Structure 1
Amino acid sequence: MVGGKKMVGIIIASHGKFADGILQSGELIFGKQENVKAVTLMPDEGPDDLKAKMQAAVKSFGDPEQVLFLIDLWGGTPFNQANSLYEAHKDKWAMVTGLNLPMLVEAYASRLSMNTAQEIAAHILGTAKDGVKLKPEELAPKETAKKPAPKVGDAGAPGKMSYVLSRIDSRLLHGQVATTWTKTTNPTRIIVVSDAVAKDELRTNLIKQAAPSGVKAHVIPVKQLIKISKDDKHFGGQRALLLFENPEDALRAIEGGVPLKEVNVGSMAHSPGKVQPNKVLAFNQKDIDAFKKMEQEGVKFDVRKVPADKAGNMDEILTKAQNALNKQ
C-alpha cells in the first residue's frame, strides 16, 4: 500500500528458482516491493503443491481482488495452475507469460498509477517485447531495427525544454535510471552531461544503447548544455532528464545559467582519497565544496537512489563527510 492506496498484487511463477532470482533482480533496480510473491515449482513438487503456494500468496495480498500473474512459460505447470485459479476471477485478474526483467520492472512502475491487474497486463506487454534486442542490429528484421537517435539540437516547437530530473550519479545511465526514474518523471530525452564521457566514443555508444524504449539518449559536454539552456528556438515540449557524473559538473552547469532548482543525488563511487559517510555516496573536498556552492545558489538536494527510498538529509551527510576528511 502506497499513500493509502491498495496496490495490485503480483505473483511471479516459474519452473525452478527463476522466480526467486528475478524477484531479487527487480528489487535491486526498483527497491523492495509490497504485495509481490515469487512462487516456484521445484523438482520434488507436484501441481497441487504449486497451486497451494499460489493460493497462499493471494491470501497474503492487501487486495486479493486484483492479482497479476507473471509466468515463465505459456502451457507449463505454473501457467496451468495459475489458469485454474484465474478462471474464477477472470473479470479482474490477469496473466502474462514470457517473464523477463523489463516486464517485471514495468509492472512495478505501473502499479504507481494503474489500479487494476488487467490494465497493467495490457500496458507491460510492449515493454516486455521491447526488452528483447539483438546485436548485431542488422540481423534484426528491417522493420524492427533500431533507428539512429536524433542529435541534441534537433528542432522542436518554439520554447525551452523542461528539466524533469537532474541527477548526480557516477554510474550515469543504468538500470535504476532507465526504469524507475524514467517511469516517474516521463522524459523524452536523457542527456548525460560530461566533458570526459563526451570524448569517449565507446562509453557514448553504450549509453545511447542503454536508453529505454521511446526515450532518446545523448552525451554532451557541459558547455553545450549551457548553450542549449539559453536557446529559445528549440526544444519546445522536450522533457529532459539530466545525468551528471559528479557535483563539479552540475555546479558548472548551474553557474553557467542552467536553471536547476533541485538536484537528485543518487550515487557517487568511492575512490582513493574519498570518504564514505553512507553506503552509496563518497566525497572528497572538491565534492563537498561543490555541493555547498550549489546550496548557496539556492539549489535543493533530493538524496535518493530510487523514488521509493526515503530522502536523506544532505546537510547531515556533508557534515559527516567533512568531519571524516578532517581526520585524515
Structure 2
Amino acid sequence: MVGIILASHGEFAEGILQSGSMIVGEQENVKAVTLLPSEGPDDIRRKMEEAIASFETDEILFLVDLWGGTPFNQANTLFEDKKDKWAIVAGLNLPMLIESFTARFSMDKAHDIAASLIDVAKDSVKVRPESLQPAESKAAAASEEPSKPLPEGTVVGNGKIDIRLARIDSRLLHGQVATAWSKDVNPTRIIVVSDDVAKDDLRKSLITQASPPGIKANVVPIDKMIEVWNDPRFGKTSALLLFENPTDALRVIEGGVEIEEVNVGSMAHSEGKVMINNVLSVDEKDVEAFKKMKDHGVTFDVRKVPADQRKDMWNLLKKTKYVN
C-alpha cells in the first residue's frame, strides 16, 4: 500500500489526519509530520526520513500544506532521487486526503494517486451564495443536467435502478457517506428515503447541498422511492439509498424494491433504546423491522465505513431482550 506523509506548518497535518481517520477509518502507512515554531528545516526533514523508514513500501505520496513552504521544500529535496516512485501534492485539504485514502484500495502507484487528487481538491471548493461561484463552474455543473425530462414509459438501459448500497444511518448524508461510501460504491445519485425529511424544506436543502462533487442528492418520500423503482426511465441510475431507521427500509422492501443487503451504519440513542455497540441503539420496533427484512431474504452488513470489519447483526441484537 502506498505510504502517505502529511506535512505542514504547525499542527495542521496532525489535525487533518485525525479528521480523515474519523471519516474513513484508521489508516496504515500514514504519518503526519509538523514544523513547529521552534524548529527549522532540518527538523522536519528528519521527521520525514523517520516516517519513510517506517513504511514497508517504496511508493511514497507527500501531501503538503503549501507549495514553496519549508515542508514542501524539504520533501522536494528528498524527492529528487525517487521521482519514479514518489509524488508531492501541495494545497492539502480534507477531500484530497480522503480521496488519497480511498484511492489506495485500487491504486498501488503514488503517481496514479497524485494525478487523481487534483480535480477532487478543486471541485471541493464551493461557495454560497451560488452567485459567487465562478461562471465557468456553474456552467459546467448545469451541463450535466438533462435538458428535459424523458417521456413517460421510456425504457433506459435495463429499466431498473441499480442500487449500489442501501444504508441505515440516522445522520443520513454526512462525511462518511459523502466521501468513504460514495467512493466505495460510486453512485450517480444519493437518495434519502424518508417521509419526515421530505416534508422538511430545511433538511432537504441541507442534504442536497451536501452532496459530493459529481453526485446528485435527492430526498424522496417512501412511496416516491417505490414509484422510482418501477419507472424504467431510471435504468441507468446508480443509487446509494439512505434511510433514517429500519422501519423505513422495511416499508420500501415491502413495496417491492429489491434490496438484497442493508448496510447498518449508525442509529442514534434515545430514551427506551438499547445500545448494542458504540454507534447503534435499537428498540423493539427496530428489531421487529430487522426480523421482517430478514424474512424477505435481506442480509445485513454492520459497518460505519468500508474499511471496517463486518459485524454480525444478530449477535449484536442478542444484547437486547428482543432476540434470543
CA change 1:69–1:215 in 2 (3 A) is: same
CA change 1:293–1:279 in 2 (3 A) is: same
Query: Does the 8 Å contact 1:288/1:322 carry over to 2?
Result: no
TM-score if structure 1 supplies the norm length? 0.93
Whether 2:34 is the aligned partner of 1:40: answer yes
TM-score if structure 2 supplies the norm length? 0.94
Kindly report which structure 2 residues correspond to 1:290-301, keeping only aligned pairs within 5 A, or say none. 290-301=289-300
Kindly report which structure 2 residues correspond to 1:1-328, keeping only aligned pairs within 5 A, or say none. 7-63=1-57, 65-145=58-138, 147=142, 154-155=149-150, 157-158=156-157, 159-231=159-231, 233-322=232-321
Query: What is aligned with 1:3?
Result: none
- Once residues 114 and 83 of structure 2 are traced to their aligned partners in structure 1, the CA distance between those partners, rounded to angstroms, is 13
Query: Does the 8 Å contact 2:284/2:322 carry over to 1?
Result: no
- Once residues 149 and 178 of structure 1 are traced to their aligned partners in structure 2, the CA distance between those partners, rounded to angstroms, is 19
- Once residues 323 and 246 of structure 1 are traced to their aligned partners in structure 2, the CA distance between those partners, rounded to angstroms, is 17
Q: Output one character per residue of 1:75-131: Cα deviation in whole Å (capped at 9) or x when no partner.
A: 110000000000111122100001100000000011010111111001011001111
- Once residues 130 and 150 of structure 1 are traced to their aligned partners in structure 2, the CA distance between those partners, rounded to angstroms, is 17
CA-CA distance at 1:46 after TM superposition: 1.0
- Once residues 26 and 209 of structure 1 are traced to their aligned partners in structure 2, the CA distance between those partners, rounded to angstroms, is 21
- Once residues 53 and 81 of structure 1 are traced to their aligned partners in structure 2, the CA distance between those partners, rounded to angstroms, is 10
The one-letter amino acid of 2:116's match is H
- Once residues 52 and 128 of structure 1 are traced to their aligned partners in structure 2, the CA distance between those partners, rounded to angstroms, is 28
Moved over 6 A (4+): none
CA-CA distance at 1:323 after TM superposition: 5.9
The one-letter amino acid of 1:76's match is G
CA-CA distance at 1:21 after TM superposition: 0.2
Root mean square deviation of aligned Cα: 1.8
- Once residues 256 and 148 of structure 1 are traced to their aligned partners in structure 2, the CA distance between those partners, rounded to angstroms, is 34
The one-letter amino acid of 2:23's match is I
Q: Which moved more, 1:74-83 or 1:308-317?
A: 308-317
Q: Output one character per residue of 1:244-269: Cα deviation in whole Å (capped at 9) or x when no partner.
A: 00000000000010000100000000
CA-CA distance at 1:271 after TM superposition: 0.9
CA-CA distance at 1:147 after TM superposition: 3.9
Query: Does the 8 Å contact 1:149/1:217 carry over to 2?
Result: no
Q: How many residues align?
A: 316
Q: Which runs of 5+ in 2 are unaligned?
A: none
User: Secondary structure of 2:276's match?
Assistant: coil
CA-CA distance at 1:219 after TM superposition: 0.3
User: Secondary structure of 1:79's match?
Assistant: helix
Query: Does the 8 Å contact 2:187/2:215 carry over to 1?
Result: yes
Q: Output one character per residue of 1:258-295: Cα deviation in whole Å (capped at 9) or x when no partner.
A: 00010000000011111112100011110011001101
CA-CA distance at 1:45 after TM superposition: 1.0
Q: Which runs of 5+ in 1 are unaligned?
A: 1-6
- Once residues 49 and 59 of structure 1 are traced to their aligned partners in structure 2, the CA distance between those partners, rounded to angstroms, is 16
The one-letter amino acid of 2:135's match is K
